[in-house]
Structure 1
Amino acid sequence: MKANKVIVALSGSIRENSSTQRTLNSLQKHISTECEYIIYNGLHKLPHFNPDLDGETPPSDVQSFRSLLDQADGVVICTPEYIKGVPGVLKNALEWLVSSATLYEKPVAVITSSGGGEHAHQALQLNLSMLQAHVPNEWTLLISGANSKQNENGEYVREEVVESLQKLLDSLKGHITSNS
């Protein structure tokens, strides 16, 4: 049995200083020492999804991505909204998980950090339901107007956002630590 539980975080944006990346970075201080927190920043390395490549030996970057998620006890996905949906790089990554059942019944928290975000928030939850990930309502958080709620270090300065993030993470951590 693993000593620490592992939470893997994925950003739907590949911009280095996006509100989603800053959100994931800021979550580190909310993760207790009982959990290892890994931010995966390799979504841009995944090739365009092609079912013909998804056989016995998928591309090495896909294998590494799936392996990391297989090791995760829980996943946090933070996404912006692009043209009223989930960014292509994140949707592509999720498509690579369909045949592997990597997220099947895995605890997944969904945070949408965007200007608006309602459409991406709904779309991501729909995508994850198709993958049969475990995403209860208390593990979802929509942060509209995210940039105006973060300081220059990416930390949220609005107390209600900080409290909501803490509540979400506490619930996710409680679930994964009690289901050893």
Structure 2
Amino acid sequence: MIEILAVSGSLRAASTNSALVAALAANAPADCRVTVYAGLGRLPIFNPDDEGERTPCEAATLIDAVTRADGLVVSCPEYAHGVPGGMKNALDWLVSRDAAVGKPAMLVHASPRSLYARGALAEIMRTMSFALYEEGALEIALLGKKPPEMEAILAEAENRLAMRNAVQGFADFIRTR
């Protein structure tokens, strides 16, 4: 069983990115388990003085979850042409840890407009030594949709298949590492 941790970089209650990672979890192939990390908003601001024995509980939970996972999926919005602070903060907690080194990661997108954040997030994650899976990019346009509309779009057969295929391709990438 391939264990994948999915993170939404949005804290918004009706987040398209959170809807996408939840749908990925619900549509994962039988040989994969996708678990959604829900602690982004509870992470304290990263401070290198708080590493080691002083690592806050919520940060330790994130670090352990990434360490245990076979791979990481991130769906992230773009704010002012950049990666939202909460997502960057989560990655900062992983910078000096081995959790990111060589860890397979895949970026998925809920908006066709988030091009600057995509590039910035990919650069950050490559710098941290994540092994980015870029062949099976998944984008399902949910921008501006209300929750019932998002649910309907994510339930469409072609989108469910696209999600399943993206996760399967990512799982195959994980297995070859």
Q: Provide TM-score, normalisation by structure 2.
A: 0.86
Give the drift of 1:72.
0.1
Give the Cα–Cα distance (whole angstroms) in 2 for the partners of residues 72 and 152 of structure 1.
Answer: 27
Unaligned 5+ segments in structure 2 are none
Match of 2:86 among 79, 83, 89: 89
Q: Does 1:113 align with 2:123?
A: no
1:51 aligned partner: 48
CA drift of 1:128 comes to 0.2
CA contact (8 A) 2:25 2:36 kept: no
Does residue 140 (structure 1) correspond to residue 154 (structure 2)? The answer is: no
Distance 1:34 1:163, change over 3 A: closer
Q: Which moved more, 1:158-167 or 1:39-48?
A: 158-167
Q: How many aligned residue pairs are there?
A: 176
* Unpaired stretches in structure 1, ≥5 consecutive residues: none
For the residue of structure 2 that corresponds to 1:14, the secondary structure is coil
Shift in alpha-carbon separation, 1:162–1:116, aligned structure 2, 3 A: farther
Amino acid at match of 2:133: P
> CA–CA distance in 1 between the matches of 2:137 and 2:98?
21
Contact 1:73 1:176 in 2 (8 A): yes
| Structure 1 length-normalised TM | 0.85
| Cα distance between partner residues in 2 of 1:68 and 1:171 | 22
Query: SS of 1:39's equivalent?
Result: strand
Percent of pairs with identical residues:
29
Given the alignment, which residue of 67, 73, 80 partners 1:70?
67
2:126 to 106, 109, 129: 129
